[in-house]
Structure 1
Amino acid sequence: MRYHNITKDDMLNGEGLRVVLWLAGCDHACPGCHNPITWDAAGGIPFDEAAKEELFAELDKDYIAGVTLSGGDPLYCGNREDVTALCAEIRKRYPQKTIWLYTGYTWKEIHDLPVINWIDVLVDGRFVQQIANSQLHWRGSENQMVIDVRRTCQLGQVVLLDGTK
């Protein structure tokens, strides 16, 4: 797995103050994407033990609400196994922190992936420039959903996070 950046003290990519891991690799190529540099799976730098420790050092801080995985696409086929393992490790090490994941895939396409067991919120769907809306909370275009993963899995139907759509 490769990544481009670890953003600290982020307030734009999920609830509360967060750390964001920007992963490399995306095959959606959405027109108008804010991060096209992250599409190349061979771009960025390897996510090694030093990078993981940098991420964990941020999660160690009491005032950090959790981690957000973005990119690129954390669920790009080449990332899925490593992202699942990382989310499982984060959940076990920081059970009180939330895990948000942004993907261009829809809930219907990925709801049965193992990573779903470890995340709290999924922002799904490709960015669609024609229906982009800067007033939306935590998403860029109106087709995207901010899904409360735990409640969705419990109830067997998509439950949106309060305050969205």
Structure 2
Amino acid sequence: MNYSKYYPVDVLNGEGTRCTLFVSGCVHQCKGCYNQSTWSPDAGVLFTEQLADQIIDDLNDTRIKKQGLTLSGGDPLHPANLDQVLKLIKRVAAECTGKDIWMWTGYKLTELNRQQQEVATLIDVLIDGKFVRELADPNLQWRGSSNQVIHYLNKETE
């Protein structure tokens, strides 16, 4: 898996202060996407165990209370990303007490294959659906277009 950016402190991509990872690879390639540089799975740099360790350390850093991890992209549920994303979210669940996980994907929740569904069972919030330029609305919270849906998969995060 490759990634384009990692922000150890982010207040824009989910509730609270978060760590945010923008992965590479997106099959949807939505018109008007603001992150076209992440479409190719080969874009950016290789995600390493050292970065995974850094994310865990950043989530557990007591100097800045972080609410959780955000995974965006590209698309975290792109087939090239699934193994590493699953491994990372399992580590977060095991090693970071009380942290939630948010994820943006162009896939709809009802379209997920078995491996994508496995990832979805381990996260707290999924924002699904392709960005549709004609439905874009800058007043929407956490979404770029009105067709996208916020799914609270863990009732504690509602």
TM-score normalised according to structure 2 size:
0.91
Q: How far off its partner does 1:8 sit?
A: 2.6
Runs (4+) off by over 6 Å: none
1:36 aligns with: 36
Q: Which ranges in structure 2 are unaligned for 5 or more consecutive residues?
A: none
Q: How far off its partner does 1:7 sit?
A: 1.2
**Rounded Cα–Cα distance in structure 2 between residues aligned with 1:49 and 1:84:** 13
2:91 aligns with: 89
**Rounded Cα–Cα distance in structure 1 between residues aligned with 2:91 and 2:60:** 14
**Rounded Cα–Cα distance in structure 1 between residues aligned with 2:33 and 2:150:** 18
Say whether residues 1:59 and 2:59 are aligned partners: yes
* Aligned AA (2:97): P
**Rounded Cα–Cα distance in structure 1 between residues aligned with 2:60 and 2:154:** 23
* Aligned AA (1:108): T
Q: How far off its partner does 1:71 sit?
A: 0.3
Residue 109 (structure 1) aligned to one of 108, 111, 122: 111
TM-score normalised according to structure 1 size:
0.88
Q: How many residues of Structure 1 are paired with residues of Structure 2 in the alignment?
A: 153
Q: Identity rate of aligned residues, in percent? A: 39
Q: How far off its partner does 1:31 sit?
A: 0.4
2:47 aligns with: 47
* Aligned AA (2:144): G
**TM-superposition CA deviations, 1:71-121 (whole Å, max 9, x none):** 000000111122111111111111300000100000101275211221000
2:20 aligns with: 20
SS at match of 1:3: strand
More displaced 10-residue stretch of structure 1: 90-99 or 124-133:
90-99
Q: How far off its partner does 1:66 sit?
A: 0.4
Q: Which ranges in structure 1 are unaligned for 5 or more consecutive residues?
A: 152-160
Say whether residues 1:9 and 2:21 are aligned partners: no
Contact preservation (8 Å) 2:140, 2:146: yes
Structure number with higher relative contact order (C-alpha < 8 Å, ≥ 6 residues apart): 2
